[in-house]
Amino acid sequence: MSVSAHLTLAQYDLMIKAGVFDQRGCRRLEFIQGEIREMTPIGSQHEDIVDRLTIWSTENLPREKVRVRVQNSIGLPALSSAPEPDLVWVVQGDYSARRPSPEDILLVIEVAESSLAYDTGEKAAMYATAEIADYWVVDLSARAIEVRRDPVAGRYRSLQTYVGDADVRPLAALDVLLRPSALWEGPSSKSDLTR
Q: Residue 190: is its pLDDT beyond 70? A: no
- pLDDT tens digits, one per residue of 20-57: 666 655 567 777 777 777 777 778 899 999 999 999 99
Question: What gap in Å lies between CA 172 and CA 133, rounded to an integer?
Answer: 9
- Residue 186: inside a domain, yes or no? yes
- Residue 21: inside a domain, yes or no? no
- Residue 27: inside a domain, yes or no? no
Q: What is the per-residue burial (b if ≥16 Cβ within 10 Å, else e) of 132-153?
A: bbbbbbbbbeeebbbbbbebee
Q: Which pLDDT does position 9 carry in this prediction? A: 72
Question: What gap in Å lies between CA 192 and CA 195, rounded to an integer?
Answer: 6
- Residue 142: inside a domain, yes or no? yes
At residue 22, what is the residue type? D
Question: What gap in Å lies between CA 78 and CA 3, rounded to an integer?
Answer: 22
- CATH number of the domain to which 147 belongs: 3.90.1570.10
- Residue 178: inside a domain, yes or no? yes
Domain count, the chain: 1
- Residue 180: inside a domain, yes or no? yes
Question: Which residues span the domain enclosing 77?
Answer: 42-194
